[in-house]
Homo-oligomer: A and B are copies of this chain.
Amino acid sequence: MSSTWGNQIKLSIFGESHGPGIGVVLDGLPAGEAVQQEELLLQMARRAPGRDKTATPRREEDMPEILSGMLDGRTTGAPLCAVIRNTNTRSRDYSQLKNLPRPGHADYTGMLRYGGYNDVRGGGHFSGRLTAPLVFAGAVCRQILARRGVFIGGHIYSIGSVCDDPMDPAAVTAQLLNELSRQSFCLLNPQAEAPMRELVEQARMEQDSVGGIVECAAVGLPAGVGSPMFGGVENVAASLLFGIPAVKGVEFGAGFAAARMRGSQHNDPFYYSDDGRVLTSTNNAGGALGGITTGMPLLVRVAVKPTASISQPQQTVDLSKHQAAQLQVTGRHDPCIVPRAVPVVESAVAIAVMELMKEGGRL
CB-CB contacts of A229-263 with B at 8 A, as 1s and 0s?
11110111011101101011111111111111111
Give the complex CA separation of A166 and B293 in angstroms.
34
Give the complex CA separation of A267 and B316 in angstroms.
10
| B243 lies within 8 A of A228 (CB) | yes
- Other-chain residue from B251, B259, B264 in contact with A250 (beta carbon distance below 8 A): B251
5 new A-B contacts at CB < 8 Å, known A1-B229, A22-B67, A113-B292: A78-B125, A113-B226, A208-B263, A249-B255, A270-B315
Known A27-B4, A78-B14; judge A106-B262 contact (CB<8 A).
Answer: no
Nearest CB in chain B: distance from A16 CB, A? 5
A281: nearest residue on chain B (CB-CB)? B315
Q: Is A173 an interface residue (CB 8 A)?
A: no
| B303 lies within 8 A of A262 (CB) | no
Known A68-B21, A249-B258, A258-B249; judge A78-B292 contact (CB<8 A).
Answer: no
| B21 lies within 8 A of A67 (CB) | yes
Known A4-B27, A304-B259; judge A242-B235 contact (CB<8 A).
Answer: yes
For chain A residues 37-78, which have a beta carbon within 8 Å of chain B? 65-71, 74-78
Q: Is A317 an interface residue (CB 8 A)?
A: yes
Give the complex CA separation of A226 and B243 in angstroms.
12
User: Among A5-13, A146-154, A174-182, A187-195, which stretch is in contact with chain B?
Assistant: A5-13
Of the candidates A28, A303, A315, the one having the most CB atoms from chain B within 10 angstroms of its own CB is A303
| A323 lies within 8 A of B267 (CB) | no
Known A77-B114, A125-B79; judge A262-B209 contact (CB<8 A).
Answer: yes
Nearest CB in chain B: distance from A185 CB, A? 17
Give the complex CA separation of A313 and B289 in angstroms.
20
| B264 lies within 8 A of A243 (CB) | no
Q: Is A23 an interface residue (CB 8 A)?
A: yes
A310 CB contacts on chain B under 8 angstroms = 263-264, 267
A308 CB contacts on chain B under 8 angstroms = 263, 266-267
Nearest CB in chain B: distance from A64 CB, A? 12
| B109 lies within 8 A of A272 (CB) | no
- Other-chain residue from B31, B70, B264 in contact with A115 (beta carbon distance below 8 A): B31
For chain A residues 281-298, which have a beta carbon within 8 Å of chain B? 281, 284-286, 288-294
Q: Is A220 an interface residue (CB 8 A)?
A: no
Q: Is A158 an interface residue (CB 8 A)?
A: yes
A255: nearest residue on chain B (CB-CB)? B249
| A67 lies within 8 A of B20 (CB) | yes
Give the complex CA separation of A293 and B112 in angstroms.
9
Give the complex CA separation of A1 and B28 in angstroms.
5
| B68 lies within 8 A of A15 (CB) | yes
Known A4-B10, A263-B308, A267-B103; judge A66-B20 contact (CB<8 A).
Answer: yes
CB-CB contacts of A103-118 with B at 8 A, as 1s and 0s?
1111011101111111
Give the complex CA separation of A260 and B104 in angstroms.
16
| B77 lies within 8 A of A113 (CB) | yes
Q: Is A343 an interface residue (CB 8 A)?
A: no
Q: Is A349 an interface residue (CB 8 A)?
A: no
A265 CB contacts on chain B under 8 angstroms = 306
A7: nearest residue on chain B (CB-CB)? B7
